[in-house]
Chains A and B, each alone.
Chain A
């Protein structure tokens, strides 16, 4: 069964610090998709990124970057120069060839001014 582990329950940083959110996944499928979602205090789930299992290229989008490593089954998310508005719960999720996207438990990031 697919499984997503986000070992960091809560992280607190000071503004402008870099922070990395860890995500480790388990799957027996060779084709799968990984996601990161942000859930700000307002409650909605905001899509950040999708990566398929055949594309290990790291991605950078502004202050956000993602490091996908199949060898360690990890899909870590780094925020550079964090800002107070980055404060949210961040979920890593895994989808195989079905409609059951499994979320990790989430990491609550607090960025202090």
Chain B
């Protein structure tokens, strides 16, 4: 069965650069979530979208923005990258708009900021 696809798997950037992470949800899933997991940390919720509209916002820095497109894929845009942004970024998808549904996670994008 198709799973959540994230690209790229690995990304290396330098400070102050920008990065774009992409997420393709499971077919017919209308909700996308972004999580950030620092080294040895638990995943932290960043932002979510339901039916192409932002549905909830967590600890996402102002330097980051995200959107969900008409085909339900989502992109996380990160600008003015800092060393502390180095983390594993997960995307998850579900149907129906709430995390009380089972979330299916992608394999993550490992971002390294040098």
Binding site for B on A (CB under 8 A): 32-33, 35, 37, 42-47, 50, 52, 91, 95, 97-106
Contacts and interface: CB of A to CB of B under 8 A. Distances in A.
Interface residues of B, number: 27
Given A43-B88, A45-B90, A91 B105 contact: no
Interface of B: 31, 33, 41-45, 48, 50, 55-56, 58, 88, 90, 92, 97-100, 102-108, 110
The 10 closest A-B pairs by CB, nearest first: A99-B56, A45-B105, A103-B42, A101-B99, A33-B100, A99-B48, A95-B99, A44-B107, A100-B45, A103-B43
A2 to B, nearest CB: 11
Contact of A101 (B41, B45, B50, B108): B45
B42 A99 contact: no
B103 A44 contact: no
B90 A104 contact: no
Given A47-B104, A101-B103, 5 more contacts: A43-B107, A43-B108, A47-B105, A99-B50, A99-B99
